[in-house]
Chains A and B, each alone.
Chain A
Amino acid sequence: MPRFIRTRLLAMVPVLVGMSILVFVTMRLIPGDAAVVFLGTKPTPEAIAAFREKAGLDQPMYVQYVVWIGRLARGDMGISLTTGSDIKTELISRLPITAELTFLAMLIAVMIAVPLGIIAALNHNKGLDLGLTSLGMIGLSLPNFWLGTLLAYFFAIRVQWFPPGGFIPFAEDPVGNLKSMTLPALSLGLVSASIIMRMTRSSMLEVVRQDYVRTARAKGLRESAITRGHLLKNALIPVITVAGMEIGYIFGGAFLVEAVFYLPGVATYALLAVNQRDYPVLQTIVLLVTLAFMLVNLVVDILYTYLDPRLRMG
């Protein structure tokens, strides 16, 4: 493993510890008592005391924290305060849905955005460029939950090509699974595609002006060779940054799109936990999401060094 990856992985540890403390403390600042939520309206004081003891809420905060982290390190995420179900089991069943949604959305975004961005830049200021840029502006301004609603209306209600919602596991029915994920993934992916396309286009236009491109042209290289050998590799570096950031936005968007298409994913779980003040669930999800983003950022940085050898020195 190259040294910089090892260093970066080690640097994650203090951030995760800091984040876990921050999350743990803020979750306890949430107004409203979990006991009241769990036990319903007007519980007896005895019932509240018993619940607090069972959930460990009567212990000092630092004891609760150490107990939580200790269990988490052993893979025990605890139980949900509202449903009493095991958080880990719940997450394992929900994670594949959100992961598939994010992956498909990202795939759609990149596969549409990069080629279109390149086409727009190569036709700079011509009709095609103008059309694509305008389309990008429209896509950028479309809220993903409104696009999702439109797609559901036209392709699930008016023409019943796709189901209007719900999730079918891939193992049960691969075709049904892809059908149930098409509209959600499109709602998220098309919006991100607009952002990545704009970045690809402006990044290409930036690189076209560089001296080495003029040199390549002066020494008689064919346009296609210049595009492939010089333009793309250099133009894609900022595109990867933006695409990496888009993963974060897509996950944020999953909250909305999972709600639009009634997908029982992680975001739906988190939203339920927010509404019910279920902090064992919330703190676990926030920590896992933080970890996921740090790993994504690391992968983006690794891709950088592959594309830009200058960075390999550091």
Chain B
Amino acid sequence: MATASATLDPAIVSSRSGGRRMQRALQNKMVVFGGAIVLLVLIAALFAPRIAPHSPYQQFTTDQLVAPGGVYPLGTDELGRDVFSRLLFGARISIQVALISVSIGVLIGGTFGLLAAYHGGAWDMLIMRFADILFAFPSLLLAIAVLALLGPSLANVMVAIGIIFIPIFVRVTRAAGLVIVQEQYIEASKASGAGPLQIIVRHVLPNAMAPLLIQITLAISYAILSEASLSFLGLGAQPPEPSWGSMLSSGRGFMTFAPWTAFGPGTAIFIAVLGFNILGDGLRDVLDPRMKS
């Protein structure tokens, strides 16, 4: 496939760079492997109600802490709930928290990053100083501080993690924007009367897509990890919500004689985080040749 596209007219290739990038991405082993894991997690999240053999909340009071196998593929927890079904619904919570928190980061951080790049000067100074201060604070501590203020709940976890992402996306979009704003075609489009919003949407944003996509993938992995961490500490999902973090936290108490209650959620967190990390690394190799080692 690569040789076929190489023989094409360069003009055609560049006009189809989206498709070519897609092709190159699919040739990257990390993208394929990471992508496959991500797909699996997404399917679990999307189709949890169809795949799950039981309700994640139903307590089979006669079947507490039953070992994996038979009717309960991954065993039951201390209240007699099916661990496998709870893990599937846990994927929903993880993905939901990740998507919403990353959206908060991208929308707020991205807007300010583009503003900083486009206007420069005092705007740039002010926005970047603020982002630097936010960035300097260890992210988990920042999230815990926000949750101390807002109170523990899953909705507040989304806000807390979203705030962590704001300075990251300010930096990514600003860096991408700065390069593009200096290009001559921006000058030309300004001269022909295009307003700032038009220039940002038409020219700056599409060119910032590659670094954004890489950062979004890695941010999702971080969001899943953070949600699990905060729920593990009791600051996120509240019982009986089947968050992987809180499942691991309660399962640890029965680890001596029912290790599956902890192993299921722990492995789920690891696999989901690993998938997005590998995909993000692969995308960086494909989309950002400078970073390729």
**A residues lining the B interface (CB < 8 Å):** 26, 29-32, 124, 137-138, 140-143, 145-146, 149-150, 152-153, 157, 201-202, 205, 248-249, 251-253, 255-256, 259-260, 270-271, 274-275, 277, 282, 286, 289, 293, 297
Q: Using Cβ atoms and an 8 Å threshold, which residues of chain A touch B273?
A: 141, 143
B17-25, B45-53, B226-234: which lies at the interface:
B226-234
A146→B277 contact, CB < 8 A: no
A251→B266 contact, CB < 8 A: no
Q: Using Cβ atoms and an 8 Å threshold, which residues of chain B touch A253?
A: 140
A141→B139 contact, CB < 8 A: no
For the A-B complex with A137-B281, A259-B232 known, give 14 more contacts whose Cβ atoms are closer than 8 Å. A138-B274, A143-B225, A143-B269, A145-B232, A145-B248, A146-B248, A146-B266, A146-B269, A157-B256, A252-B141, A255-B229, A275-B152, A282-B148, A293-B138
Given A274-B148, A289-B141, check contact A141 B233 (CB 8 Å).
Answer: no
**B residues lining the A interface (CB < 8 Å):** 136-141, 144-145, 147-149, 151-152, 221, 225, 228-229, 232-235, 248, 252, 255-256, 259, 262, 266, 269-270, 273-274, 277-278, 281, 293
Q: Using Cβ atoms and an 8 Å threshold, which residues of chain A touch B144?
A: 255, 270-271, 274
B140→A249 contact, CB < 8 A: yes
Q: Using Cβ atoms and an 8 Å threshold, which residues of chain A touch B270?
A: 141-143, 146
A30→B149 contact, CB < 8 A: yes
- Ranked nearest first, the 9 interchain pairs of A and B with the lowest CB-CB distance are A252-B140, A248-B138, A141-B274, A146-B266, A274-B148, A141-B273, A252-B138, A141-B277, A205-B293
How far apart sit A25 and B53, CA to CA, in the bound complex (Å)?
A: 50
6 contacts between A and B (CB under 8 A): A141-B277, A248-B141, A252-B139, A255-B144, A259-B232, A293-B136
B266→A275 contact, CB < 8 A: no
Whole-angstrom distance from the CB of B293 to the nearest CB of chain A? 5
Q: Using Cβ atoms and an 8 Å threshold, which residues of chain B touch A293?
A: 136-138
A251→B256 contact, CB < 8 A: no
Which label, helix, strand, loop or mixed, suits the secondary structure of the B interface?
A: helix
B252→A260 contact, CB < 8 A: yes
Given A153-B255, A157-B255, A249-B140, check contact A256 B229 (CB 8 Å).
Answer: yes
Q: Using Cβ atoms and an 8 Å threshold, which residues of chain B touch A26?
A: 145, 149
Q: Smallest CB-CB separation from B225: which chain A residue?
A: A143
Q: Using Cβ atoms and an 8 Å threshold, which residues of chain A touch B252?
A: 149, 260
How far apart sit A152 and B251, CA to CA, in the bound complex (Å)?
A: 13
Q: Smallest CB-CB separation from B265: which chain A residue?
A: A146
A137→B274 contact, CB < 8 A: yes
B259→A153 contact, CB < 8 A: yes
A274→B138 contact, CB < 8 A: no
B149→A137 contact, CB < 8 A: no
Whole-angstrom distance from the CB of A145 to the nearest CB of chain B? 5
Whole-angstrom distance from the CB of B93 to the nearest CB of chain A? 15
Q: Looking at the complex, which one of B140, B225, B262, B274 makes contact with A153 (CB distance below 8 Å)?
A: B262
B138→A149 contact, CB < 8 A: no
Q: Looking at the complex, which one of B147, B148, B228, B255 makes contact with A143 (CB distance below 8 Å)?
A: B228
How far apart sit A137 and B198, CA to CA, in the bound complex (Å)?
A: 41
B266→A256 contact, CB < 8 A: no
How far apart sit A271 and B138, CA to CA, in the bound complex (Å)?
A: 16
Q: Smallest CB-CB separation from B255: which chain A residue?
A: A153
Whole-angstrom distance from the CB of B32 to the nearest CB of chain A? 15
How far apart sit A270 and B145, CA to CA, in the bound complex (Å)?
A: 10
Most chain A beta-carbon neighbours within 10 Å: one of B138, B140, B229, B266: B138
Q: Using Cβ atoms and an 8 Å threshold, which residues of chain A touch B256?
A: 157
B266→A149 contact, CB < 8 A: yes
How far apart sit A149 and B262, CA to CA, in the bound complex (Å)?
A: 8
Q: Using Cβ atoms and an 8 Å threshold, which residues of chain B touch A143?
A: 225, 228-229, 266, 269-270, 273
Whole-angstrom distance from the CB of A27 to the nearest CB of chain B? 8
Q: Using Cβ atoms and an 8 Å threshold, which residues of chain B touch A145?
A: 229, 232, 248
Q: Using Cβ atoms and an 8 Å threshold, which residues of chain B touch A153?
A: 255, 259, 262
A275→B234 contact, CB < 8 A: yes
Whole-angstrom distance from the CB of A249 to the nearest CB of chain B? 6
How far apart sit A149 and B138, CA to CA, in the bound complex (Å)?
A: 23
How far apart sit A253 and B225, CA to CA, in the bound complex (Å)?
A: 12
Whole-angstrom distance from the CB of B238 to the nearest CB of chain A? 13
How far apart sit A289 and B135, CA to CA, in the bound complex (Å)?
A: 15
Q: Using Cβ atoms and an 8 Å threshold, which residues of chain B touch A297?
A: 136
How far apart sit A260 and B269, CA to CA, in the bound complex (Å)?
A: 16
Q: Using Cβ atoms and an 8 Å threshold, which residues of chain B touch A202?
A: 293
Given A143-B270, A149-B255, A255-B144, check contact A271 B233 (CB 8 Å).
Answer: yes
How far apart sit A277 and B293, CA to CA, in the bound complex (Å)?
A: 48
